[in-house]
Amino acid sequence: MKKYHFLFLFFACVNLLFSQGPTFSGIRFSTVWGTEKFELYKKYILKEDTISVSMLKFYISDIVLKKKNTIIYKTEGKSYLMNPEKKLEIDFDQNIAEEADEIDFSVGVDSTTNVSGALGGDLDPMNGMYWSWQSGYVNFKIEGTYRGSAAQKDFQFHIGGYSSLFPTLQTIALPLGKNQKIIYVDVLRFLLQIDLNKIHSIMSPGEKAVILARQFGKVFYTDRK
């Protein structure tokens, strides 16, 4: 009887160990549409129009965690490519997660990386985020279709540019509450700033690209406790 009791306790402990899984103590970037989870190809209401996003990609670079304006953690990887289908999670020590009160990062790829030519990993041109004709990276892409009162149209915004004349790299600083783990990326907030009836395509660096880059920098937020 004691033998069966021991075996029961043994298997119960093993099951508990594997059911818990690894503990995530880092930062997760999550795309949303207002108060709901964002999905590609899903039809949403934008003002009085119907809109569907077929592509969303952007770079997150140089992630830094701070406590009282002092850097306490910096990621080893420089640039990470994010899209709604590939969640970006940066893991680190639990003590850092509890101590950090601010996260800083860039949206896009800096000028030094741009002039280094095509690289590998998330910066591999095969990811479709490199302009060979421009010899530089696209900081973010968003494409889709919207239907207004008149007709249905496509929109395409490929935003990049690293020159001092038209810089599109955006530096973001957000507050972190204790054990804050999610950075939200609100696609609705970005598209609400654009009149798609007047502008529906930007495919190269310039003044309009800079304006949209600044608008995209406003879509990141946290729920600070």
**Predicted pLDDT at 100:** 86
Position 157, amino acid: F
Helix (H) or strand (E) holding 81: strand 79-82
Give the pLDDT score at 25: 61
**Predicted model pTM:** 0.85
Tell me what pLDDT residue 148 has.
76
For residue 48, the model assigns a pLDDT of 85
The two beta strands, 27-33 and 182-186, are parallel
Distance of alpha carbon 111 from alpha carbon 103, whole angstroms: 22
Residue 97's pLDDT is what?
A: 64
From the first residue on, what is the mean pLDDT of each consecutive set of 10 residues in the chain (225 residues)? Answer: 48 43 68 95 93 96 92 87 82 72 94 86 93 87 88 93 93 86 94 91 95 96 72
- Of the candidates 173, 170, 172, the residue with the CA atom closest to the CA atom of residue 159: 170
pLDDT at residue 71, as a whole number: 93
Q: H or E element: which one contains 37?
A: strand 36-37
